[in-house]
């Protein structure tokens, strides 16, 4: 009898304990804040900014002058899909003008006399298509309209671009802009020479940005991204002078291949004679010579931009009628 009473009492107490545990658990879950599922959304943007080229004519070893002396412009449009509070994907189209000039970079700077002697210059309008992933350092809110005021982010991806470097002919030869790749200024395309370089190449964009919420439907963002390219010919300078300039395609190719002795800087019209005389005097009356016209690492370019982004409101999902 005692055992039966003990068993019944034990089962009764266990039942009460289980009921209390269930009640406590339900209260705990009730008091726990509800975390809404993130609602993906999209945005489209337009941006304007600057572009800077780094290569033989603007070495990154002197980053301040390389960035600012020949800074140009870019214009861009993009589509962004926000997948999670921290990750987005972006497709962008960018037109960027790049430019470099040995004369401008080296004038009055004896450390760069080699560039002053070479006297090359170029401009190149790059058309870039990029696909990048964006990582938000601070997470977004639960949907398009719950965006935080400030979001710093990192991005990286892959890009393809078309380009076409051009330079001005000498002052006494018309001073006109001409495309350089068809000329084969380093002997490309000649028997035994290198193949002409491609006018389509790839790049890896890497950068950082900051996005600010302007109002319910608009964001403003600022970013800077380096493009590490797969070509050394954004500037048409990547190899050696041709062994016999007279073998080049035409007189224009000969003029634009070796510009050491030009008395006037073709792009801006600066007088080169005093600089040439100084360098010759410092080298026993002769100008130093070299076979290298370019070479080294592949070229890079930096794009900065201010974007205005429009938030595309997601469709409101209503429950089905019954």
Q: Which residues have C-beta within 8 Å of that of residue 70, sequence separation ≥ 6?
A: 52, 53, 58, 99, 100, 101, 104, 105
Which pLDDT value is given to residue 314? 76
Q: Which residues have C-beta within 8 Å of that of residue 308, sequence separation ≥ 6?
A: 45, 46, 47, 218, 219, 220
Helix (H) or strand (E) holding 270: none
What is the C-alpha R_g of the chain?
A: 32
Strand partners, 41: 82
- CB of 57 within 8 A of CB of 267? no
Which pLDDT value is given to residue 14? 42
CA torsion through residues 47, 50, 55, 60, sign: negative
2 three-state secondary structure: helix
Q: How many CA atoms lie within 13 A of 116 on its CB side?
A: 22
Which pLDDT value is given to residue 45? 98
Which pLDDT value is given to residue 11? 45
Query: What fold characterizes domain 38-312?
Result: Porin (2.40.160)
Closest CA to 197 of 213, 179, 214: 179
**Residue 143: exposure state from Cβ atoms within 10 A (0-12, 13-18, ≥19):** middle
CA torsion through residues 86, 92, 95, 99, sign: positive
73/208 Cα distance (integer angstroms)? 19
Pairing, β 218-229 against β 177-179: unpaired
Torsion of CA 232, 238, 239, 244, to 10 degrees: 130
As a 3-state breakdown, the chain gives helix, strand, coil percent values, each rounded to 5, of: 25, 35, 40
Closest CA to 307 of 71, 78, 67: 78
Q: What does pLDDT average to in each consecutive run of 10 residues of the chain (322 residues)?
A: 46 47 50 71 97 97 96 98 96 99 96 97 99 96 89 98 98 96 95 92 98 96 98 96 90 96 95 97 93 92 98 73 61
Helix (H) or strand (E) holding 12: helix 2-31
Q: Which residues have C-beta within 8 Å of that of residue 250, sequence separation ≥ 6?
A: 183
- CB of 219 within 8 A of CB of 290? no
Q: How many CA atoms lie within 13 A of 199 on its CB side?
A: 13
Domain residue ranges in the chain: 38-312
φ/ψ of 175, rounded to 5, equals: 55, 45
Quickly count helices (H) and strands (E) in the chain.
Answer: 6, 10
- The full length of the chain comes to 322
- CB of 203 within 8 A of CB of 227? yes
Which pLDDT value is given to residue 21? 45
């Amino acid at each position: 009898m005692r055992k039966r009473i003990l068993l019944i009492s034990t089962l009764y107490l266990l039942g009460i304990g289980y009921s209390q545990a269930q009640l406590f658990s339900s209260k705990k879950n009730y008091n726990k804040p509800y975390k809404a599922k993130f609602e993906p959304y999209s945005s489209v943007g337009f941006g304007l900014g600057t572009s800077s080229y780094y290569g033989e004519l603007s070495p990154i070893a002197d980053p301040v002058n390389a960035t600012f002396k020949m800074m140009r412009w870019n214009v861009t449009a993009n589509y962004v899909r926000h997948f999670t509070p921290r990750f987005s994907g972006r497709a962008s189209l960018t037109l960027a003008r790049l430019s470099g000039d040995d004369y401008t970079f080296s004038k009055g700077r004896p450390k760069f006399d080699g560039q002053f002697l070479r006297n090359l210059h170029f401009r190149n309008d790059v058309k870039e298509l990029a696909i990048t992933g964006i990582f938000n350092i601070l997470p977004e809110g639960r949907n398009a309209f719950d965006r935080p005021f400030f979001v710093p982010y990192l991005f990286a991806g892959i890009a393809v671009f078309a380009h076409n470097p051009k330079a001005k002919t000498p002052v006494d030869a018309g001073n006109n802009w001409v495309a350089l790749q068809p000329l084969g200024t380093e002997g490309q395309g000649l028997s035994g020479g290198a193949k002409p370089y491609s006018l389509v190449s790839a790049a890896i964009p890497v950068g950082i940005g900051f996005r600010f919420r302007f109002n319910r439907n608009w964001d403003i963002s600022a970013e800077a991204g380096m493009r590490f390219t797969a070509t050394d010919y954004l500037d048409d300078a990547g190899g050696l002078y041709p062994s016999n300039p007279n073998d080049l395609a035409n007189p224009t190719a000969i003029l634009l291949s070796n510009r050491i002795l030009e008395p006037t800087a073709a792009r801006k019209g600066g007088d080169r004679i005093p600089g040439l005389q100084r360098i010759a005097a410092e080298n026993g009356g002769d100008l130093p010579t070299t076979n290298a016209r370019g070479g080294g690492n592949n070229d890079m370019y930096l794009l900065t931009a201010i974007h205005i982004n429009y938030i595309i409101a997601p469709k409101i999902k209503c429950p089905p009628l019954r």
